[in-house]
Structure 1
Amino acid sequence: MCFVVDGPDEPIVEALAIQPFYKAGDSLILSCRAEGFPLSIPQWIFGGQILPDFHQGVLNLTNVQTSQGGSYTCSLLNELTKEKREKNVTLKVYDSPLGSPICSVASVNNTDLQYQCKWAGGMPEAQLSFPALSNINSGAGTFSLIVTSSANLNDKTITCLAEHPIEQNSCNITARPTISDSSLFPNQDGTIITLTWEVPPTSVVTGFDIQMKGPDLLSHSGDYSVPRGSSKEYRIIQQKPGYARSADVFLLDPDMTYRFRIIPKARLTDGEPSKVHRIGPGDGLSGSAIAGIAAGIPCSIIALILLMGLIFLIFCYHKKKSNKTRYPVSRAVEKVKTIQPKAVSHNILNRGLRPPPDYNNLHQTPSERSVTLPMFVPPAP
């Protein structure tokens, strides 16, 4: 008997199901086979090591991660001829970046603007760009682009495009001077204050104006540093660069009332003022208190009118009741009414028992009784 020994032929390697790439958590199967006699035993090699988990050339991969991406090699060896064939297959495993892209803009040297876009994580990293600012510049993961500040960028919305094999996303940013939060911290004597503020990542600021309303500040000698101006208008007392986040103001008169606010600026453009910070003794009702009182006056008037109407109705009711017709009462009824309190009090003293009969009255003669006898009138002839 004669045997023809050949092979192995060129291996046939395929992935099921075939995709350009796989997302982290997917499952797939790699298979490898080749014709020849005797049949060659396939082996799967990854990262220079032979993988043990396969059967008859079939490698089952479940819940794959990005670390499992790369080149897989199928090796077949004819044990008789020692002929060896190999074939590679590249497996791409991608993972999405975390969350959503974040945009920000900041002032650089008070003349330029630095736009930044960031989308962390992912495999591979997302490609980021600002098409409205540049068509040729882009970056992966984190991308910054510095442009010259100009008036047409103020209040203009700029979009960052974030492209990833699994998904595409974007974020918008509008360059305008804004302040997100501010605070005032006085010293123990109330003569020095420190103003602090925060700038959101979407704000473009090249400087700040510190404004005050109230009496002028004191000099170190205790006098006013400049002649008193109008205390009813805000005026600039300090100017700070775009990177500043605090300012010290001194010397204040502890017996006077001052108001402060911060104005963000983008070159010649003023942003919205911060909230007003007040320090000093009270100087009357606040605007909100006055508004509350003004709103309550009409309600008080209406309530007063309703109360007066109710009093008038009660008065009319009692007057009408007192004007009802009263009929004359006979003397006997009046006598009964006059005697009734005594009888009532007598009944009360005797716990409701009837009074005993008047025996003296029973033994009196008819002439002694105070009873009027009927008169006899003779009939007419």
Structure 2
Amino acid sequence: MQTLSDLIVLLFFITGHVCDLSISPTQPVSVDALVGSDVTLAVSHSGASQPVVTWFMEGLPVVTWTISDYTSPDVASDHSSVLHVDQNGSLTFRNVSLGYNGTYTVEMTKIGEIRVSATFYLFVYDIIKNVSLHTDPVEAIEGARVFTFYYSTLQGDTREVWWFFNGVRLDNGPYYSINGKNLTIYQPSRNDTGQYAVVLTNPFSSGTQYRNITVLYGPDMPVLMVSPTKAVFVSGDSLFLSCAAEGLPPPSATWSFSGRSIPASSGGTVNLTDVATSQSGVYTCVLINPKTEAQRKRNITIHVYEIPSGELLCSVQALNENLGLQFLCVWPGGVPEARLSFPGLSVNDSGEGNFSITPNDILSLSGEEIICKAEHALIQTQCSIIPRGPVDFLPVIFTNISRDEQTTVVVHCNTEASPKAVIHWLKDGQGLEDGPKYQISTDTSQLFIRDFNVSSTDLDIYTCTAINPLGSKTSNVTLLGPQISDSSIVLSDNRTEVTLKWDVPPTSIITGFHIQMKGPDPVGSSRSEFRTIRMMPGFTRTTNISGLEPKSSYFFRIIPQAGGTTGERSTEYRVQPGSIASKSV
């Protein structure tokens, strides 16, 4: 039998010279065709005119014709609708079917010449459809003699077949046998569990089918685990107890604690959430194979401790009207309770849960880090506190105006201190207390001056003194009426907009600003008097005024307000054609 690469072109020699008639394929001699398509076995010849060409299908003549003859080719009657001969002797198949698979030989002869020939191999394929993958037996069992896969298709022949296991191509060998449509596994094991695939291909299509196989085995020795893996668990933790054994079908698991059954998942897992110390003890798992009813039992011991609740907290507080200090360390609860101590204050003193100590020499402790150590069976931790006297600070002024035009000024004095400083308030050297006019916040850090009047004695010197057992700091603030400390103006490049900016003294009482302008109004009428064109809240420090006429002159100024009281105006600024914005002279 000839191979696919055979190309039979016979050149014959007559004694003393070469035969003129020759034939050769004009394409590969192995030809693939799809069912229903047209395909040509193409040849060419030379050396003689009008040779007789004969095509043979599997050795039987199917077409005979003399090239360039006017008579019709002689085509076998059962192939006349399919086979056609071209002018050069090539053979064309119309709407080729699977039945035309085979070997085709073309012969050319000329009276007085020696016969020449060429051979083609035609492979006709259909589209591969509906690949199915089957097994024998239905289930694979570890240690069985063989386990076999075999495939089938609804239509379509294959040229190549590949078998895969978990994406890896399988080859013939002592373990896997590939024969025809079958893949056989000899003595399968649990490692053969996975996804198998068969891939069928021909030049015009391919088909793939997958089959997941689980090899039955076991049960093996059970494995008992706790997750997370800890020697001791903390009250409130969550943990999982798992009990499993290698085997298929999977063995079922039941759990018990102190002789009582406890719920478990179908996979043999017990979920213990928010565990308590009462849940310490021995847990028992029983594994049962549902088919063999074989049982295996195993125990695991769980220890549950309790960490003290919350975080360890350190603090220091003033005693005896700011004459002494008490250091506290708090961490209540726990099994067992945590041991608390201040090693820097006393080597021998300690306590449990809530511990405090009052040292004698407190001034030497200012700025020193005082550490509380907490020792528990599960954890050791510490916290610290740094006692210090008040540090320098500056009062901060806030001004609010109510809907009924009542002005409230807030003086805020806040300093860093540990323990927190108590603020004492004075006005012009006289102590202030809560009342309808003056109100002091609960933490003493803020003084509220109600119904503030800048034209009265409310503009005065206010003093706040911060005091704790480690020292004191005093700061004075003189409240001022509405003022502008600095201002400026910037004219835009197109001279149609100005930007006013201003600042005020930090202790000036401000509730708003009147932005005033002198010059043409928006409709073009000129005005010789300043008029308020905008009212700004007390916290603003800039505004833009647009819509200016570039060829007109304007004057601008800012008037600070405190309630109904008007403060001193700002510098007046002039904008005129041909010059930059400047101060008005």
**Shorter-normalised TM-score: what interval?**
0.3 to 0.5
Q: Which structure is richer in relative contact order (CA contacts within 8 A, separation 6 or more)?
A: 1
Tell me the TM-score normalised to structure 1 length: 0.41
Tell me the TM-score normalised to structure 2 length: 0.29
* Greater per-residue strand proportion: 2
